[in-house]
Amino acid sequence: MIADNPHGIGPAEREPEEPSATSAPWDLSPSRHLRYKEVLMHKSDQYRVADTRTATAQPLHRLLRSAMVLPVVAALTGVLVVTASGNDHTSASRRAASAAESAMGNSASTSLDRISAAAMSRDVKPVKDNQLVYAESLIRENTGAFGGPVGLGALHTYEVWTVQGSAPTSTTGWIRETGKDAVMPGERIPIVATAPVRAGLDHPTYKWLDTLPTDPEDLRTLLYAQTEPWGSLSEDETVFRNVGELLGSTIMPPATASALYKVVERIPGVTVIPDTVDAAGRHGIGITRKDPGSATRDEWIFNKNTLAYLGSRSYMTADKRTGVAADTLYGINAVMERGVVDSPGEVPASTEG
């Protein structure tokens, strides 16, 4: 287990704020739309995902959160227009906020340097093509009614088995959820793409990760070249989230992991949260980024001592333009185990990475 406190969920989460009816851009990666499309199509033909283009464009492979954010999307339906005057008080406030953000950015750079060095020092056994990477997480998702306020559901278990190998494949893995508020609890559901998928950002295998440049600037150039921004997100934010998608369910070569954190260090606007908590109640350092084109932000959590990745938190962000008064938590997870297995449904006897 990769856990400081694997037996309890720790302190209760703050009650999420009820979002106001507003207008805001929504920003899900194409693959995030697919997890619950696949799940619900297995369950009933009455469920559909509106944008079918995403189903053909991307496979399902990540910890996708469409079902937990859809009620939030429905809440963002009105329109607010805010006009700010450029008085001295406002200008002073902006200068103070800019200075504070700059200080947090410097702190984030220091933290990411340490996280990168810690990743490089880890001993990771390579994963074979005929094996699967297994990851088990504790998650809480938005279970609020469509069109209603955010409501975090019960803590439950989420498992994913990711197929390795270099050949294109239509089945990139399997997922299983168990516990209260789980989707189709106890059923192992195949992750199926509409066309064979090669190893890459949309199907990250150990071997593919091992082929990436380990020079941070070369890796940064490659990631930006392969990045197509999601919706209204900036290119910087899309790269940030692409890296975040890799953290929870892959096993990475140490040099690759180290270089990825160096790339994140170079992304403008990345800041540090000195203390945050994952779904298992473990406290850690948070790394986050707020994008002007986004109604949400993700926060990665790292152990304060070992600097290992613990989990993440996802927020609707406070914004006068959208009427959201305070950051509202709509999802949280904690990686509890990660390892290598030989077949789907198998759980590792020991952990890796």
Q: How many CB atoms lie within 10 A of CB 300?
A: 27
Rounded distance, CA 186 to CA 95, Å?
52
| Average confidence (pLDDT) over 56-79 | 37
| Average confidence (pLDDT) over 153-163 | 97
Residue 265 or residue 74, greater confidence = 265
pTM check: above 0.95 = no
Among the listed residues 323, 300, 297, 325, the one whose alpha carbon sits nearest the alpha carbon of residue 310: 300
For the ranges 16-20, 110-114, 143-147, 185-189, the lowest mean pLDDT is seen at 16-20
Residue 3 or residue 27, greater confidence = 27
DSSP-H helix ranges across 163-280: 206-211, 216-225, 235-247, 254-265
pLDDT at 136: 98
Q: Average model confidence (pLDDT) for the chain?
A: 76
pLDDT at 350: 58
pLDDT at 111: 97
| pLDDT greater than 70 at residue 332 | yes
Give all strands of the β-sheet with 283-289 in edge-to-edge order: 189-197, 169-178, 156-163, 132-141, 328-341, 309-316, 296-303, 283-289, 270-277
pLDDT at 352: 47
| Average confidence (pLDDT) over 191-216 | 95
pLDDT at 293: 84
Name the range with the highest mean pLDDT among 78-87, 272-281, 323-332: 272-281
pLDDT at 104: 53
pLDDT at 147: 67
Name the 3-class secondary structure at 330.
strand
| pLDDT greater than 50 at residue 221 | yes
pLDDT at 351: 47
Name the range with the highest mean pLDDT among 21-30, 123-132, 229-238: 123-132
Residue 338 or residue 317, greater confidence = 338
pLDDT at 149: 80
pLDDT at 349: 85
Among the listed residues 348, 332, 349, 339, the one whose alpha carbon sits nearest the alpha carbon of residue 63: 332
Provide the β-strand partners of residue 303.
Answer: 284
| pLDDT greater than 80 at residue 20 | no
Residues contacting 28, CB < 8 A, separation 6+: 65, 66, 69, 230, 231
pLDDT at 322: 63
